[in-house]
Structure 1
Amino acid sequence: MEDAVVLAARCAAPAAGEPYLLTPGPLTTARSTKEAMLRDWGSWDAEFREMTAQLRRALLDIAGDVAGDYDCVPLQGSGSYCVEAMLGSLVPRDGHALVLANGAYGKRIATTLRYLGRRHTVLDKGDYLPPRGSEVERMLAVDHTITHVVVVHCETSSGILNPIGEIAAATAKHGRKLLIDSMSAFGAVPLDVREIRCEAFVSSANKCIEGVPGFGFVIARRDALRDAKGRSHSLSLDLHDQWDAMNRTGQWRFTPPTHAVAAFIEALRLHALEGGPRGRLARYARNRDVLVSEMQALGFEPLLGERWRSPVIVTFFAPAHPAFRFERFYALMKEQGFIIYPGKLTVVDSFRIGCIGQVDASVMQRVAKACAHALGAMGVDCAAPSDAALRERGALAAMA
């Protein structure tokens, strides 16, 4: 593990002139991951087909599929492509999905189902609160037409980490099927199919595995993939067809993101060297804790209490000071080598700082110092949020 820590520290500095990407993906990648993309690969070549098979095996290992009940289906495109592929292929056209939403990505799932013409019901918890297993259980007990429950593992619009374990237990108790958007969590936050009963989950190359954008993947039960034949609304997003073609030929149906796959193979090597999900979670959690501590020392306040705060990204209230403007704050942070995220909340002004990628606690300390410098340049002498924002957080936290 010590070698992994040294490796992470050595790889953490981006190339000269490159900023740190403090986002939930794309993110700052290791230099060796970038260098893996310097070679061209033939998409039909046996060597590339073996790379595809290698990444599929590695991801199933990370997911804990020792029984061979699941398979991994990589798919070209962004994470949202994979979410749509999962929904369009695994939710029958006469199915009924219960969508657990507490942010932008849960709402995007509902929008996708609407485009697909799939019946769905939304449990919307707002920006602050997680959906709970007890709520799911009550809704499933009342509505027997619901066939699937869909949930976002880590809702990065707020940074909230949803209680997947209790949601999975409630879903299984009532004999329904669970679909998980684990886009920004898998690879660090535990998601072991031996413990979390789910029909399928999706993630992306450029998140906690620390690869680059270009493809995502669906890990689904083999029987679910078999049942999906002929169900998809789209040729490109047909999971069954992609799965069948890969298993028969070892090839992607259409032009694969060869360089992104090569980078991902290297990212998987580094992931294993760091200790797999456990080692990566430890670093990300340390990043989060140092960031929050340093930012609170400046007067900033995180949106979420410690209980629901993920190790992926932290949302902070915008300062109430009249001189604070996020656009200026963003520019000043970029000048110092840090790309941060605007807020994505509907109720209060906020901004977000990611904790994942090739960054460590020392980088988080530098981020806080850059924030202090930016505030000084703006003439903001107090980073505290408005009293109204804090009161609303307190009231909603009590409900959780």
Structure 2
Amino acid sequence: METKAYFPGPTRVRENVRQARSLETMNPDMDPQFYEMYSKLGKDIGRIIGTENQVFILSGEGILGLEAACASLTEPGDRVLVLDNGIFGEGFADFVTIYGGTPEVLKFDRLREIDTSVLQEFLDKDHDFKYATLVHCDTPSGVLNPVDEICPLLKKYGILSVVDAVASSGGEPVDVDKNRIDICLGASQKSFSAPVGLTFASVSEAAFRSMEARKAPIASYYMNLLSFKDSIANQWFPYSMPSSDILGLRQAVDNILEEGIGELQKRHRNIAGAVRNAFRDYGLKLHLNSGYSNTVTVVEMPEGIDTVELLLRLKNERGLLLSGSIGYLKNKVVRMGHMGENANTEELIFVLEAMDSVLEGMGYIRTSNLKDLFLKYLG
């Protein structure tokens, strides 16, 4: 039986993206055409995430960008504010510690978005931080944090911001420049619907000035964002770029621009809203109380339904791979990714019909079916 995966990334890859990766490539070290293509791709990604800052494509999965930001900014003894309302939020503290910084973890309610008033109250008392880290969409819980409130507030206190937008960029508005985000990090395998393997990073002039003003050298070669600053102008990269992967991302970005950035985000918004409302009417509880992302929905199973058994039966009986979660949510919730190429009606009908069938087989008493509820709300 063929299996289909609806994880919150990696997402399905369109055929024209796969074909683009098979093309004969330019020499990424020597060919001026490659630098021209790379530069234009960075600018087009900038259009999608709303920035005129330089955008660099790095060879490595999205975690590379998170660590690279911390490696490039952190000096021994630096105090760094880590905003934590989810698993990936708290994970930034590890990167800060690795590079000699001192993380101050500010914890928030994990069932909702970060409360900016709580952050404001904290910063009024203590704002001696070089930079702050936060996650836009925390995929283990599906929470979406208000970067439009948080990052301007941090800037008011002179604090640089590092934003993990890996699971949000493309499917959600990020608006880097409008929201005054200093380093914004994304990846190829989520809403951009290219294969795993590339990180992109937009870096503000303020962030570069902070890196240049360091007393201690950046304690990494591969994760040194400063080494990319003049790479286009000088036509020199610190390491050879993965040209085939970048050609695939080039095509994936073209797909987004052809659809239209606004239309892409509207598609995510409409599908996510219909999925959430369908689950509510069906009788399943959304994990969060508020702060729902349009790229991933997380639901709790009713009493008597074992999450591990549900996921196993979905795979074996219906050929569907859905995801549980990690950390404190392991074996407690089911996550459905509806981002990028996976955010389409036909595929979600398959997912919802499979869940309906397996839940009924496990003894869940329902008064309606997920497919009809989804289509009702989709309009």
Q: TM-score, normalized by length of structure 2? A: 0.87
Matched, 1:257 2:242: yes
Aligned equivalents of 1:231, 1:18: Cα separation in 2: 51
Pick one of 245, 248, 254 that aligns with 1:269: 254
Counterpart contact for 1:153–1:164, Cα < 8 Å: yes
1:156 is matched with which residue?
139
Aligned equivalents of 1:325, 1:165: Cα separation in 2: 35
User: Alpha-carbon deviation of 1:217?
Assistant: 1.4
Counterpart contact for 1:127–1:346, Cα < 8 Å: no
The one-letter code sitting in structure 2 at the alignment partner of 1:49 is Y
2:372 is matched with which residue?
none
Matched, 1:346 2:328: yes
The one-letter code sitting in structure 1 at the alignment partner of 2:46 is L
Unaligned runs of 5+ in 2: 368-379
1:233 is matched with which residue?
219
The 1:151–1:201 alpha-carbon spacing in structure 2 relative to 1, beyond 3 Å, is: same
The one-letter code sitting in structure 2 at the alignment partner of 1:31 is E
Pick one of 83, 102, 111 that aligns with 1:128: 111
1:38 is matched with which residue?
22
The one-letter code sitting in structure 1 at the alignment partner of 2:13 is T
Counterpart contact for 2:193–2:341, Cα < 8 Å: yes
Q: How does 1:85-234 map to 2 (within 5 A)?
A: 85-229=68-212, 231-234=217-220
User: Alpha-carbon deviation of 1:177?
Assistant: 1.6
Aligned equivalents of 2:314, 2:348: Cα separation in 1: 16
Aligned length: 360
User: Alpha-carbon deviation of 1:343?
Assistant: 2.1
Aligned equivalents of 1:175, 1:334: Cα separation in 2: 53
Aligned equivalents of 1:62, 1:51: Cα separation in 2: 17
User: Alpha-carbon deviation of 1:330?
Assistant: 3.6
Q: Secondary structure at the match of 2:286?
A: coil
Counterpart contact for 1:344–1:350, Cα < 8 Å: no
The one-letter code sitting in structure 2 at the alignment partner of 1:51 is M
Q: Secondary structure at the match of 2:58?
A: strand
1:49 is matched with which residue?
35
Aligned equivalents of 1:206, 1:158: Cα separation in 2: 18
Q: TM-score, normalized by length of structure 1? A: 0.83
Counterpart contact for 2:82–2:104, Cα < 8 Å: yes
User: Alpha-carbon deviation of 1:321?
Assistant: 0.9
- Give CA-to-partner distance per residue, 1:163-219, whole Å, 9 cap, x none: 111112321222222221111111231122332012211111112222221110110
Q: Secondary structure at the match of 1:342?
A: coil
The one-letter code sitting in structure 1 at the alignment partner of 2:157 is H
Q: How does 1:225-374 map to 2 (within 5 A)?
A: 225-229=208-212, 231-249=217-235, 251-276=236-261, 278-305=262-289, 307-321=290-304, 324-333=306-315, 336-344=318-326, 346=328, 349-359=332-342, 360-374=344-358
User: Alpha-carbon deviation of 1:18?
Assistant: 6.0
Counterpart contact for 1:320–1:383, Cα < 8 Å: no
Identity %: 22
Unaligned runs of 5+ in 1: 1-16, 385-400
Q: Greater shift after overlay, 20-29 or 328-337? A: 328-337
Q: Greater shift after overlay, 83-92 or 45-54? A: 45-54
Q: Secondary structure at the match of 1:290?
A: helix
The 1:383–1:317 alpha-carbon spacing in structure 2 relative to 1, beyond 3 Å, is: farther
User: Alpha-carbon deviation of 1:37?
Assistant: 1.3
Q: Secondary structure at the match of 2:229?
A: helix
- RMSD value, Cα: 2.4
Counterpart contact for 1:77–1:216, Cα < 8 Å: yes
Counterpart contact for 2:41–2:250, Cα < 8 Å: yes
Aligned equivalents of 2:356, 2:49: Cα separation in 1: 40
- Give CA-to-partner distance per residue, 1:96-129, whole Å, 9 cap, x none: 1111111110111111112222111111225313
- Give CA-to-partner distance per residue, 1:7-29, whole Å, 9 cap, x none: xxxxxxxxxx8644322221112
Counterpart contact for 1:74–1:215, Cα < 8 Å: yes
Q: Secondary structure at the match of 2:335?
A: strand
Counterpart contact for 2:8–2:190, Cα < 8 Å: yes
2:56 is matched with which residue?
73
Q: Secondary structure at the match of 2:328?
A: coil
Q: Secondary structure at the match of 1:375?
A: helix
The 1:235–1:309 alpha-carbon spacing in structure 2 relative to 1, beyond 3 Å, is: same
2:377 is matched with which residue?
none
The one-letter code sitting in structure 1 at the alignment partner of 2:226 is H
The one-letter code sitting in structure 2 at the alignment partner of 1:254 is Y
Counterpart contact for 2:74–2:96, Cα < 8 Å: no
Counterpart contact for 2:8–2:335, Cα < 8 Å: no
Aligned equivalents of 1:227, 1:172: Cα separation in 2: 14
The 1:312–1:351 alpha-carbon spacing in structure 2 relative to 1, beyond 3 Å, is: same
Counterpart contact for 2:129–2:159, Cα < 8 Å: yes
